[in-house]
Structure 1
Amino acid sequence: MKFIATVRTVSMLSLLFLAGACKDFIDINADPNNPTTPVLELLLPATQVSMAGALRDVNQGTSILMQQLYTSNTSRNFQDGTDYQQSWNGLYTQALNDIEIVIREGTRQQRWDYVSIAKLEKAYIYSLMVDLWGDIPYTEASQGNTVSDPGFETGETIYDKLFVLIDEALADANKGSFAINPTTADIIYKGDKNAWIRMANSLKLKMFNQIRLVQRDKAIAGINALLTANAPLITTNAQDFSFRFGTTETPANRHPWHRSEYQAGKSYYMSQGFMERLFSTDDPRLRYYFYRQTPNYTVGFTPTGNGYFGRYTGDATAAPNDNALKATVGVYPAGGLYDNSPINNLTAANVFVTNAGATSVPKVVTNTDGSGAGVFPFITNAMVKFILAEAALTLGTTGDARQLLQDGIAAHLNSVNTISSTSGNSAPAIPAATITAFVANRAAQYDAADAAGKLGVVMTQKYIALYGNGMEAYNDYRRTGLPALPAPIAPLNTFPLRLTYSVTELSTNAKVSDKADQLQTAQQTTPVFWDK
């Protein structure tokens, strides 16, 4: 791509702040983006840092579309060619480009451990890009600077190639020794071969489930093959495929939501509807997801009067000077503060959200509050459980959907506990008895529902657990239409079925520049290949 050289230089500087999850990576003196000879132990962590950084904007945008965050234009279904340009450019010109170098150099050195990891990162990134954008450059884009105008391929074609790539990566993992050294060169799994094998199989599971509406037989066969073979999947929270952020301001490696919201000026409102969903359903994650800066602030779009002050999706009214009043992100997933202040209008019906032990007073947050040591959950134990439950309900694959639902909810509540109590975060744990009772409560809702309602319970619980990964919530919603979301108050467009392309790509790539406007317009209303 013609703009690679320029963007690579700029984007690497902007993304290095994320590397706090691995201090050893921060402290290297060599530039891993421009080595004289490719150094695998420097390039591999650079790919993981740039992957997390480049996904920031698409994660933000999809979180808004899925009514978990709020900004005015995006919540009104408006998007343009600059909204996700940084994500597109960062993925292609940095993360994927460096991944190709690791694959090429690792193959030359017969370092199949590095090759395997790089191929799995490549498969994960491209699968997400297909999910979000549909048709994208793939084969020619993998050739880096040798092809300035890579051709776009259909999402279905790319998915087929990615299934092959994952199998190649699994085969590579079993060639020779798997010995990443130092282990910190692998920020995510610290060189754990078995962890990457579980990630590979879990990615395949996710992709098979994704295509179930359009390739039902292939989805059933693929999922059943994984289960029949007892292929290792992510089955514990410790095995989650996720990126953990650090705690420091210099270098700035905190969770991006913490960096943007724990300061005087803020980028978002919290979604009023999402806060009310947790409040009205007595969900104990309420105090972990959101932090109130005031105990009682009531305006037209905040009827609860208890400090959970956000904006409803599509609200087009002007924003007053309310940064010190609106609710903000909490300890999960952003590494902010746990809200331990009394909630004004709780009733005796509340079992899981109560004022027991709530002795704090809300405060206006600053960058010294919370640790910022949050998480970007890519594929987790909870997600795998919910995927298996959905597949069991819709495809008849092996598994007890009710038990998988319970396991998924419990796994996520325990993940909230882990993030809340590690790396300088100091929130109290959700008690084990509360987790047990809450899971039983949701299982009872499942039992009371009809067939369609049972899927609704599964997808709603998954949606709540996906806070922090709007991309997967966006995928699920387009595939299932669940959970039911209110229409924007003042929409500017229809709900987007794909994200807009980078305007830079469309204007510089000769293979598409003559039809750029048509392609961009079609993104709003054209389903991705797996969306029926």
Structure 2
Amino acid sequence: MNGTHRPISFLVAFVLILTTSACKKFVDINGDPNNPTEPNLSLLLSGTQVSIAGNFTGINSGGSAVVQHWGSGNLNRWDQSGGTFSSSWSGFYTGAIPDLETIIKTGTEQQQWGYVSIAKLQKAYLYSIMVDVWGDIPYTQAGGSYTDPVFDKGQDIYNSLFTLIDEALADMEKGFTVTSSADLFYQGSKERWQRMAYSLKLKMFNQIRLVDPARAEQGIRTLLSSGVPLMTENAHDFTFRYGSNVTPNSRHPWYINSYNTSRSGYMSMTLINRLKQQDDPRLRYYIFRMRSNAGLANATNGDGYYGRYPGDGAASPADHSTRAISGIYPAAGLYDNGTIATLTSANQLLNNEGASAGTTANSFRIALFTSGDGTGAGILPLITNAMVNFIRAEAALTLNTGEDARKLLLDAVTAQLTSVSTLSASNKGNAIPAATITGFITRLGQQYDAADAAGKMQLLMMQKWIALYGNGVEAYNDYRRTGLPQLEDLVSPLDTFPFRFYYSETEMTSNASVIANRDAVQRAQQLTPVFWDK
């Protein structure tokens, strides 16, 4: 397989979801061969992938708000409730997980090991993320057979997931055949799923390094020394790719939220300011300005970057046509090609070369919502080549794994800059010039060389925080584990820092295993770290 990712059409996705929900065993007294009694593994697999990506949106938004990638939302003020993540919780437990279990069971019976191995890897990834954000969750009794599943300890689940990944890798060697159209991530490529599996193990070992450094170090060293395939180029990325269809809507959720007349939410001034201060060319790709002179609080004396500072709960004025919105990365909105008035001669990489004077060329198009407002065919980066290099660099600095942390950091940033450039170029935007990427990496290397041990770690995690724009869950994980990069003080917090996300209130009021203590259990989510957060 060439590894090329296909955008998912949500017309197809909608059919998949409907078909998936209908793929239950039933009794057909006529034995009609056109009405099979066994689940269709191809349709089920595609359906689980759409479901995982679709229900990731809620926890992604929450994480992005906590780590100040976004400047609005309840979690931006550290406030949550039983309804905040109910959609994601329900979607995972009533959609993706039961269907993954069906694929594993039926695929094993039919010896369809390609489907079985992919389903196990998706299950391992999904549960690892659910533990990361919720902590203790139903696992051994999840999947539909139990009406009141018990909540297993997050650490026990992690231990089981390491085993599950090994099972999936062993299943691949029994035979791997998957219809390419059924696999929206890798089009049935065994090699790329192997890379995803080992990279997931790497990520999980790094995640537990504070509570079990010996196991983390040994696990990572074994992965590195054994020659197993990790993600080493962007073509290996475990990334969900949205489409550009309008009806049904297959576009990136950030695009849908921003490119319409009733847009909600604000861009983060923390992110905007850091990109400007660090002379980072990604500002033009991450943020699109509606008006070149828009300022905070809907003023007209700014440079277009009208967002909000973290924890600002002020009411929204009539500013739908002036607030800054999602750019071309990762949502495939618009590339900002307008003049940034506040740039100075100190800005060498984020500059006004080739910029349109006064305003962006597309500002008025978006105000009218014409065909010039981007495509929406963005990406959801789940595990990427860039992330793997960042993780290896962190492990080299903290676990003495023997690798060159400097080179890995520079490789990670190069990979992510390239990903930004590629997505932009394929969605009506500008590619990042090669000289700009080279200049950015050269300067970053100089900053690394000048830093002490603590400074090197701070530089690494700041660059990873910037690169993780689009995946707030992983940025949330990193901040809880390292405390880096330092976040801004909230303007008006409504609660203490959230160490975990709230459970779905429906689960709390219907599951007999927790209902007696539901209030205490729920409140503990805000206050109690996940097991790996020492």
8 Å Cα contact 1:263/1:367 also seen in 2: no
Q: Out of 357, 372, 377, which is 1:373 matched to? A: 377
Aligned to 1:7: none
8 Å Cα contact 2:311/2:493 also seen in 1: yes
Aligned residue runs from structure 1 range 86-235, under 5 A: 86-141=87-142, 144-176=143-175, 178-181=176-179, 183-235=180-232
Comparing 66-75 and 111-120, the one that deviates more:
66-75
Q: Deviations over 1:199-254 (max 9, x none)?
A: 00000000000000000000000000000101100110011001000001011000
8 Å Cα contact 2:298/2:322 also seen in 1: no
The 3 A distance-change label for structure 1 pair 29 and 496 is closer
Aligned residue runs from structure 1 range 441-456, under 5 A: 441-456=443-458
Comparing 61-70 and 208-217, the one that deviates more:
61-70
For the residue of structure 2 that corresponds to 1:452, the secondary structure is: helix
Q: Deviations over 1:94-121 (max 9, x none)?
A: 0111100000110010000000000000
1:70 is displaced (CA, Å) by 2.2
The answer to whether residue 407 in structure 2 is matched with residue 403 in structure 1 is: yes
For the residue of structure 2 that corresponds to 1:69, the secondary structure is: coil
The 3 A distance-change label for structure 1 pair 223 and 130 is same
1:152 is displaced (CA, Å) by 0.4
Mark the runs of 5 or more structure 1 residues left unpaired by the alignment: 1-17
1:24 is displaced (CA, Å) by 5.5
**C-alpha separation between the residues in 1 aligned to 2:370 and 2:22?**
33
Aligned to 2:58: 57
Q: Percent identity over the alignment?
A: 52
8 Å Cα contact 1:72/1:315 also seen in 2: no
**C-alpha separation between the residues in 1 aligned to 2:132 and 2:18?**
35
1:267 is displaced (CA, Å) by 2.3
**C-alpha separation between the residues in 2 aligned to 1:511 and 1:21?**
40
Comparing 367-376 and 108-117, the one that deviates more:
367-376
**C-alpha separation between the residues in 1 aligned to 2:101 and 2:166?**
17
Q: Out of 385, 388, 392, which is 1:388 matched to? A: 392
The answer to whether residue 21 in structure 2 is matched with residue 33 in structure 1 is: yes
Aligned residue runs from structure 1 range 297-446, under 5 A: 297-299=294-296, 305-359=302-356, 360-361=360-361, 362-363=363-364, 364-365=366-367, 366=369, 368=371, 369-422=373-426, 425-446=427-448
Aligned to 2:47: 46
Mark the runs of 5 or more structure 2 residues left unpaired by the alignment: 1-5, 26-37
Name the amino acid aligned to 2:125: Y
8 Å Cα contact 1:302/1:308 also seen in 2: no
**C-alpha separation between the residues in 2 aligned to 1:453 and 1:21?**
45
Q: CA RMSD in A?
A: 1.7
**C-alpha separation between the residues in 1 aligned to 2:300 and 2:153?**
46
For the residue of structure 1 that corresponds to 2:380, the secondary structure is: strand
**C-alpha separation between the residues in 2 aligned to 1:499 and 1:24?**
32
1:319 is displaced (CA, Å) by 0.9
**C-alpha separation between the residues in 1 aligned to 2:300 and 2:492?**
19
**C-alpha separation between the residues in 2 aligned to 1:83 and 1:163?**
30
8 Å Cα contact 2:509/2:515 also seen in 1: yes
Name the amino acid aligned to 2:97: L
**C-alpha separation between the residues in 2 aligned to 1:160 and 1:336?**
40
Task: Report how many residues are paired.
Answer: 509
Aligned to 2:532: 530
Aligned to 1:501: 503
The 3 A distance-change label for structure 1 pair 30 and 450 is closer
1:49 is displaced (CA, Å) by 0.1
For the residue of structure 2 that corresponds to 1:31, the secondary structure is: helix
Q: Deviations over 1:10-51 (max 9, x none)?
A: xxxxxxxx9835876556697122124200011000000000
The 3 A distance-change label for structure 1 pair 201 and 68 is same
The 3 A distance-change label for structure 1 pair 77 and 485 is same
8 Å Cα contact 2:237/2:384 also seen in 1: yes
Q: Out of 517, 520, 530, which is 2:519 matched to? A: 517
For the residue of structure 2 that corresponds to 1:243, the secondary structure is: strand
1:418 is displaced (CA, Å) by 1.5
8 Å Cα contact 1:242/1:375 also seen in 2: yes
The 3 A distance-change label for structure 1 pair 203 and 28 is closer
**C-alpha separation between the residues in 1 aligned to 2:474 and 2:296?**
32
**C-alpha separation between the residues in 1 aligned to 2:65 and 2:336?**
22
